[in-house]
């Protein structure tokens, strides 16, 4: 049985963001954030993120659906990834800060918004911080 589920084999496979302009959003997530684009068509674009997928969808009728729901990406070297993303133009709203600790490591996070206002964070554990 999958951890955290009563249903065998259940896993999170996709996070779908509705976007106003697929081309602009693909450029943001691919060129600024640095995700690998797997495939793109008329209404959808797919980015592989580990075992999961971030999918962008431009519906025929777009209603802004931005919320305070947050997509969190964990990386190995949080400070260098944030620095590199900032250099490419990712507009961070919140600078890297310590958000929690397990006594041996500290989890750092910084967040940004995509062109449609969706919130995303880059996080990573730092030993001894």
Q: How far apart, in Å, do the first and last CA atoms of the chain sit?
A: 36
Report CA 67 to chain centroid distance, whole Å: 14
Strand, helix or coil for residue 85: helix
Tokens of 100: 């929690």
Q: What is the pLDDT of residues 85-117, one digit of tens each?
A: 999 999 999 889 999 999 999 999 999 999 999
CA 64 vs. chain centroid, Å, equals 18
Span 61-90, pLDDT tens digits: 867 766 778 999 999 999 999 999 999 999
Residue 80, phi-psi category: left (phi > 0), alpha (psi -120 to 50), beta (remainder): alpha
Query: Is the sign of the CA dihedral 65, 62, 13, 76 positive or negative?
Result: negative
Among the four given CATH numbers 1.50.40.10, 3.10.180.10, 3.40.50.1370, 3.40.50.740, the one describing domain 14-127 = 3.10.180.10
pTM for the whole structure: 0.87
């Amino acid at each position: 049985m999958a951890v955290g589920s009563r249903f065998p084999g259940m896993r999170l496979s996709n996070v779908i963001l509705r976007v106003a302009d697929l081309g602009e959003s693909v450029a943001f997530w691919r060129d600024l954030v640095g995700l690998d684009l797997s495939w793109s068509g008329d209404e959808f674009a797919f980015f592989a993120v580990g075992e999961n997928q971030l999918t962008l969808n431009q519906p025929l009728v777009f209603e802004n659906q931005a919320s305070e729901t947050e997509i969190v990406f964990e990386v190995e070297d949080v400070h260098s990834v944030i620095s590199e993303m900032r250099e490419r133009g990712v507009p961070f709203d919140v600078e890297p800060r310590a958000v929690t600790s397990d006594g041996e490591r500290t989890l750092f996070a910084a967040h940004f918004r995509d062109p449609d206002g969706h919130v995303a964070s880059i996080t990573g554990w730092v030993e001894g911080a």
